[in-house]
Structure formats: structure tokens, C-alpha cells
Amino acid sequence: MAANAIEVSRISKTYADGTAAVEDLSFMVPEGSCFGFLGPNGAGKTTLMKALYGMVRRDPRPETRVSVLGFDPAADELAVKHLCGVVPQEDNLDAEVDVGTNLFIYSKFYGLPAREARERIAELLGFMELKEKARARVSELSGGMKRRLVIARALMNRPRLLILDEPTTGLDPQVRQLIWDKVRGLKREGVTVLLTTHYMEEAYQIADSIIIMDKGRRVLEGPPRELLSRGIEAWVLDVLDPDASGGLGEGPLSAGVRREEGGYSPRFFSDHPEALRELAARLPSGATHLRPTNLEDLFLRSTGRKLNDLQ
């Protein structure tokens, strides 16, 4: 069995104003895996990441234990910083200098000799597909390029653990795919990846295991596909036209079909798509949409709330 890169037992964080951002979370992250935290805005994901790399002081509770690559960030912040690469939510790049210089300045923090730094920079610009932008100023980069640069920067010191806080928020689907590919590549090289996201697709695509979080607490934990197969039916029929749903009446449903009231119109869940197709046939064509269920459906079912109201 792989060793754990991270072991956390009963971590909590309450801010000075009384906000309980993280409440009593425990989890383990096997080395070389990608572990995701999925939850809506305000779930406590960023706070948790910051507590892991020592940017936020967790509540000093006697029952709490935290080990990040063998170190406790509350006691050994510097050791953790040297072993981790962090991609924060905000692109905190130096806008006045060019791409290569941004990386070069960063290499100094890690005490890399100049020659080695230049080699590493060339390698990372190649890896993140930014080579032709080496001399461009940060202010001339698109949002997706900036994100890729922040990731390259986080990889400067060849970290064993990469922490990605909402890595693709606001980016277009092509850049998102590219970043997912790179994360998969890093994982193949043995890097452990910790990821926060409010995109269920992101968690599904790249995380081996996830914790679904809400209001600082764990709602569910496990490999995404397993969570789905255990927690919710395989198929859902969305009724797109609320007026049409009247046609389904309140009458009995076929066996194995569950009706859920939500939003504008009811939704029907089943493991048997044919049962849902039969139901759809009672409504005008185009009034329904049959699809496989996803983590968003599971989140809604578990919390009664949407994962991403703004998406």
C-alpha cells in the first residue's frame, strides 16, 4: 500500500469573527494520488488548503493532528513550503515583468543556482505550453496563460505535493482540459495533487478520491464514480418545460422511478433508462432531457442545495 502524503485528523478553523470555516475534518491522501475537495463557495475549501500549507492558523485543539509530507504546518511551515507547490486562487504574479522573469524571481526563493533555474524554466514553459510567451509581460497574457504560469511557478522546486485551489475557475473549456491533462501527467510522475473545486466535472475528471464539503463539514467521501453508484440512481429525466410537467400528473410511477421536486419542475430518477423513456413519451418531444446523473445531482440530493448556483 502507498504511504500517505497527508494525514489529517480532526482539523477545525474558526475565524476571529466566529465563522466556523472548517469543522472537524479528517482524511488521508495516498502519495501519488489526486485528492479533491468539491463544494460550493464558502464551503471552507480554501481555508482548509491554507491551513495545510501554513497560511492560516488552524484552531489549536488537542485532538487535532496534521502531517503534510511528515511535517506539521503549524510547527514547520517552512519545511512544508519547501516541499509543496501552491497555486492559490488569485493569480498573484508580478505584472510588470515578463513570464520568464516571474519564474526566475521565484527560483531565488528556493535558492536554485541561475543555470539550473534557466533550465528548469525552459522545461516548465515547455510543459505548460508557454514557450512562445517567455518574453511577454504578464499583463499581456490571457487568463488561461496566467493560470498556466502560476502552475509552472508552483512546479519550480519540483514539489512532491501540488496544491491547486480552484485551478480552472473562470477559464474556457480548452484551457481547463489542458490543465487537467497536465495534472494527470504530474500524477504519473508521482506528484501528489490536492485540488479544490466547485466544478463537479473537474472533480470527476481528475480526482481519484474526493470529499464533498458543505459549510465546513464533510458530506460524502470516496472515489467519484463509487460515490455516484452508491449514492444516486444512474439516470435522471429533467423536465425542461415546467408547464409540461402537469402532463405527468401526480399518479403512481413505475417501479424503480423516484420523483424529486426541485427548482421549477420535478425530476425523475431511475437505474432503468427505459422506465424514464416511457415517462418522457407522455410529454411533448423536447420537453424532457434524459441523461446520466452526476455529482451535482448527488450534492443536491445530499444537502438540498445546488453545488454551483452561478454556473
Write out the residues near ligand ADP by the rule CB under 6 A.
15, 17, 19, 21, 39, 41-47
What is the sign, positive or negative, of the torsion defined by CA atoms of 278, 282, 286, 287?
negative
Dist. CA 293–CA 297, nearest whole Å: 6
- Closer to ligand ADP by Cβ: residue 19 or 142: 19
- Closer to ligand ADP by Cβ: residue 37 or 235: 37
- Closer to ligand ADP by Cβ: residue 32 or 44: 44
Shortest distance, position 46 Cβ to ligand ADP, whole Å: 3
- Closer to ligand ADP by Cβ: residue 39 or 224: 39
Shortest distance, position 15 Cβ to ligand ADP, whole Å: 3
- Closer to ligand ADP by Cβ: residue 31 or 77: 77
Asked if residues 21 and 47 have their Cβ atoms less than 8 Å apart, the reply is yes
Shortest distance, position 85 Cβ to ligand ADP, whole Å: 19
> For 123, phi and psi rounded to 5 degrees?
-60, -45
Dist. CA 10–CA 23, nearest whole Å: 8
Strand positions, DSSP E, the chain:
4-14, 20-30, 34-38, 65-68, 84-87, 161-165, 192-197, 209-214, 217-222, 235-239, 257-260, 267-270, 288-292
What is the sign, positive or negative, of the torsion defined by CA atoms of 114, 118, 121, 123?
negative
- Closer to ligand ADP by Cβ: residue 47 or 157: 47
Shortest distance, position 199 Cβ to ligand ADP, whole Å: 13
- Closer to ligand ADP by Cβ: residue 84 or 236: 84
Shortest distance, position 11 Cβ to ligand ADP, whole Å: 13
Shortest distance, position 45 Cβ to ligand ADP, whole Å: 4
Shortest distance, position 47 Cβ to ligand ADP, whole Å: 3
Distance of CA 165 to the CA centre of its chain: 7
Task: Compute CA distances 83 → 53, 128, 163, 180, whole Å.
Answer: 10, 20, 11, 22
